Amino acid sequence: MKGSLYEVSAVMEYNFFDYHYRKAKIHFTPYVFVGVAGFLSSTTTATDNAALPALNQKGTLLGLAVPAGFGFKYALSNRWNLGLEAGARKVFSDQIDHIDGKTQGQTDVVGNPHDQDWYFFNGVSISYTFYKINCPPQYKSNPRLLQ
């Protein structure tokens, strides 16, 4: 299979440590994420086996997916982060690879008609934090409460 896949996603992230607190010794955090995504794939599946013409397919698919995964972030400064991430995307279709196990010629050879496609993403990122969570007034007036 060859092709391209474009994704737009919105995810919620849970950071296990306060990695932006500059006075702390730890400036990294593991995190997990989950969200919703839209994708556009354009793929071609081809085989050199003349006995399996049903595997020679191509097409475009627009669909929804659920991204989930984990990663690590390191705070380079108060606003800049370096990240390493791995995630899986559950797709609500079985047509990214054009092999669904239901099409004539695929039923006895490949494909499972009882599951759907997944795709995976691994990457390195640089991100910028746009917001700052201000310390509540009771902690500003009595910093010992933070210890």
| 47-57 pLDDT per residue, tens | 666 656 666 77
What is the predicted pLDDT for the residue at 25?
80
Q: Is it the case that residue 107 has pLDDT exceeding 70?
A: no
Number of domains the chain is built from: 1
CB contact at 8 A, 74 and 81: yes
CB contact at 8 A, 139 and 146: yes
Q: Is it the case that residue 142 has pLDDT exceeding 80?
A: no
106 pLDDT band, cuts 50/70/90, is low
Show the domain range for 9.
Answer: 2-146
CATH number, domain containing residue 74: 2.40.160
